[in-house]
Amino acid sequence: MTDLVLHEYAASGNCYKIRLTASHVGVVLQRREYDIMSGETRSLAFLSEVNRNGRIPVLQIGDRFLPESNAACVWLADGSALIPTDRFDRADMLRWMFFEQYSHEPNVATLRFWLHLIGETALSDMQRAQIASKRTGGEAALALMEEHLASQRFFVADMPTLADICLYAYTHVAEEGSFDLGHFPAVRRWIDAVAALPRHVAMED
């Protein structure tokens, strides 16, 4: 099998979702850690060799590089039970993965990064000015998930798919961004269900 290297910052949910997908499909990843706080992913070497976009994660597949966490998950899960075979369900899985990147991650993940990993006192004025709108956006994303999960065990087709893996990554640590999951009981039940799946691995593993 081709060597697989995950270029990552382990505390990032976007990196964790790739490790979680790999575990579910039984694939071993080599891991290479970067210190994003010191700008290691903005170095000339990283930009020219790994990702011109200066972001982790990137999944290296042999000598090819695949940025964007959800795309890397799709590559890993190709042909597995994590991707539905039904045409509508497969598109509906991607629907939740696009929702994750557009409506969830920029709010839920960014507030966690700012408040938990950087720390509020170290934020710029521009960042501090966006906290309120990101809280509103993150709560709206969680509320949409709550409504959906009130009548569904998993996001798509009553089975665990990449939509669950990708949404789980930042949702299960949303309280580190000071979101109160006590307001979202169906989301909490779903978090427990994802964590109870065979082959689950924790973020800190």
Beta bridge partners of 6: 31, 59
Q: How far apart are CA 86 and CA 97, in angstroms?
A: 17
Q: How far apart are CA 125 and CA 130, in angstroms?
A: 9
Is 135 a binding residue for its own copies by CB under 8 A? The answer is no
Contact 17, 166 (CB under 8 A): yes
Q: Residue 52 or residue 189: which is nearer to its own copies going by CB? A: 52
* Contact pattern from residue 36 through residue 55 relative to its own copies, giving x for each residue in contact according to CB under 8 A and a dash for the rest: ----------------xx--
In the sheet that 58-61 helps form, which strands lie side by side, from edge to edge? 30-33, 4-8, 58-61, 64-67
Minimum CB separation from its own copies for residue 204, in Å? 25
Minimum CB separation from its own copies for residue 95, in Å? 4
**105, 139, 164, 176: residue in contact with its own copies (rule CB under 8 A):** 105
* Contact pattern from residue 64 through residue 103 relative to its own copies, giving x for each residue in contact according to CB under 8 A and a dash for the rest: x-xxxxxxx-xx--x--------xx-xxx-xxxxxx-xxx
Minimum CB separation from its own copies for residue 61, in Å? 6
Closest CA to 29 of 41, 38, 20, 39: 20
The two three-digit tokens of residue 126, written as one number:
């521009």
Q: Residue 90 or residue 200: which is nearer to its own copies going by CB? A: 90
Q: Residue 71 or residue 202: which is nearer to its own copies going by CB? A: 71
Minimum CB separation from its own copies for residue 76, in Å? 9
Contact 99, 107 (CB under 8 A): no
The two three-digit tokens of residue 57, written as one number:
């994660």
Q: Which amino acid would we find at residue 98? A: F
Q: Residue 97 or residue 203: which is nearer to its own copies going by CB? A: 97
**Residue written as token pair 């799709």:** 74
Q: Residue 65 or residue 200: which is nearer to its own copies going by CB? A: 65
Q: Residue 77 or residue 191: which is nearer to its own copies going by CB? A: 77
Q: How far apart are CA 167 and CA 127, in angstroms?
A: 24
* Near its own copies in 143-172, by CB under 8 A: 144, 147-148
Q: How far apart are CA 26 and CA 178, in angstroms?
A: 33
| Residues in contact with its own copies by the rule CB under 8 A | 52-53, 61, 64, 66-72, 74-75, 78, 87-88, 90-92, 94-99, 101-103, 105-106, 126, 129, 133, 144, 147-148
